[in-house]
Structures are given as C-alpha cells and as structure tokens.
Amino acid sequence: MHIFLTHFHWDHIQGFPFFAPLYDPEDVIKVIGPKQKDIDVQNLFAGQMGPIYFPVPFSLVAAEMEFEHLNDGGYEVGDFELEVMRVRHPSFVIGYKIKIDGHVICFIPDNEIEGDMYPELEPDFRTRLVDFCGDADLLLHDSMYTEDEYPHRHGWGHSTFEQTLQLGLDAGVNKLLFFHHDPMRTDYEISAIVAKMREHAARSGSGMIIDAAREGVDYRMDGDA
Ligand SMILES: [Zn+2]
Ligand SMILES: [Zn+2]
C-alpha cells in the first residue's frame, strides 16, 4: 500500500494513528511525502504518535513501514506515474499529477492560487500551475473560500471557488471538482455555489464539467460520476 501526502497539517494526517492496517503485521505500507526542512517523513509521521497525543507509540506499529521523501520531481509505482509541484500553502506543500492508462488526475487540496507568500515560487507560479494542470481529465483543487471571505483570509494558503474555476478553464481540464471545503460551509451553500460556478463557466463557452467533491462518489475517466 502506498500513501501519498501533500503535507502534514492535522486535517491531512489525523486519522493515521487509528488506521487499522498499521496494526496488521501482514501489511506493508509506504508513506511518501515532502520532507519539512530537516525533519524527515518518518519523524513527521511518527511524531503524532508521541505519548502526549496518542497512547500507542510508533514502535508498536505492526505493519512493515517504509518512508520516502518527495519534494519535487516524479515517482513511479505500478502503472501509476506521479509528478509533483510545490504549491502556495504554509510549510512545504506539494500537489500531485497522477497519470494512469493515458488519463491525468491532478490533486491539489491546499493551494492559494492568487497568493504571494513564497517569493521563491515566483514570478511564474500561476503559469507553472496552469501548465501542471494542463488538459487534466480531472482536477481536484482547493476551494475553501468565497470571494467575500477571501479578503479576510489572504495569505492563509487557500483559494476561492472563482480562482479555482479560472484555473480549470485556463488549464483546459475536462472535469473540475471543488475540494477542501470550509468546514463551516453547509451542503446547501456548496450546491448553490456550484450552480453559480457552472453558470460562469457556461457564459465563457466552456464545456468543463463542474462539481463539488464529496465522500462516497466514484469518479470515472469517461466523465460519468
Ligand atoms: Zn494545510
Ligand atoms: Zn488542508
């Protein structure tokens, strides 16, 4: 089993100590993600199992665990080819481009498209991002805020629905899923925003399929949910 992480904020790793396969000696689990300064992936992963946070220490994990750094470049496993790009979000955070059977999926859960927090990612960050997502069959991207909320959240490392829509249009993706919803947003609000974004896209003449990511839905590369 391979687990690819974009970064180590709680909302992305908190379930691991309770992940049953960790305690099965038959399992082999490889965790791949970006090293944070001089802290390696194993320490980042095991750190949340310190005694203050969790009663079972990492040393009692029964599965065979492997760890690997992936801060830039690519990775291959089985028929999957992955490419990563560092994005704008606090700490060292990556997005993934996954290629399988001629299809391309981009997974970028945390990224501030219009931000300017990391000078080292400038001046061509957005151009590189559009290129990275170019012609993806499926793009899942951060859509945490509305345009009204964003001025109060500038620099927090998340994007608006409108910014994400424009990225999808500019990159020519086939299907866009708004992702990493604000936890305070209701399903009703998300549905209303999705309807508005579909109108925006239709007005620009795009045939991009637009939806909000939700649990329990299978997305197939033929365009059917
Ligand atoms: Zn985060
Ligand atoms: Zn997050």
**Centroid of ligand 1 to alpha carbon of 42 (angstroms):** 18
CA 114 to centroid of ligand 2, rounded, Å: 17
Are both 121 and 31 inside the same structural domain?
no
- Measured in angstroms, how far is the CA atom of residue 203 from the centroid of ligand 2? 31
The verdict on 21 and 36 lying in the same domain is: yes
Residue 93: nearest ligand to its CA? 1
- Judge if 9 and 60 occupy the same domain: yes
Residues with CB under 5 A from ligand 2 (ion): 11, 110
Number of domains in the chain: 2
Are residue 78 and residue 131 in the same domain, yes or no?
Answer: yes
Contact 172, 135 (CB under 8 A): yes
CA atoms within 13 A on the CB side of 141: 30
Residues 209 and 180 reside in one and the same domain: yes
- CATH code assigned at 139: 3.60.15.10
For the purposes of burial, counting CB atoms within 10 Å of the CB of 64, is it exposed (0-12), middle (13-18) or buried (19 or more)? exposed
> How much distance in Å is there from the Cα of 175 to the middle of ligand 2?
21
| Single-letter amino acid code for the residue at 17 | P
Q: How many Å lie between the centroid of ligand 1 and the Cα of residue 217?
A: 23
| 187 and 128 co-located in one domain | yes
Whether residues 213 and 223 share a domain: the answer is yes
Contact in structure between 126 and 164 (CB atoms under 8 Å): no
The per-residue pLDDT for 117 is 85
Q: Examine the fold and report which residue of 39, 70, 101 is the final residue of a domain before the chain moves on.
A: 70
* 86 and 62 in a common domain: no
Q: Which ligand has the nearest atom to the CA of 91?
A: 1
Residue 182: nearest ligand to its CA?
Answer: 2
pTM of the full predicted structure? 0.94
The predicted structure's pLDDT at residue 222: 63
For residue 95, the CA-to-ligand 1 centroid distance in Å is 12
Domain that includes residue 37, residue range: 1-70
List the chain pLDDT tens, one digit each, 225 residues. Answer: 999 999 999 999 999 999 999 999 999 999 999 999 999 999 998 889 999 999 999 999 999 999 999 999 999 999 999 999 999 999 999 999 999 999 999 999 999 999 888 999 999 999 999 999 998 999 999 999 999 999 999 999 999 999 999 999 999 999 999 999 999 999 999 999 999 999 999 999 999 999 999 999 988 776 555
Residue 131 CA to ligand 1 center (angstroms) comes to 23
Taking the centre of ligand 1 as the mean of its atom positions, its distance from the CA of residue 207, in whole angstroms, is 31
CA of 109 to the centre of ligand 2 (A): 6
Out of 53, 70, 87, a domain closes at: 70
Of 14, 45, 70, which residue is a domain's last? 70
Spatial distance between the Cα atoms of 92 and 201, rounded to a whole number of angstroms: 32
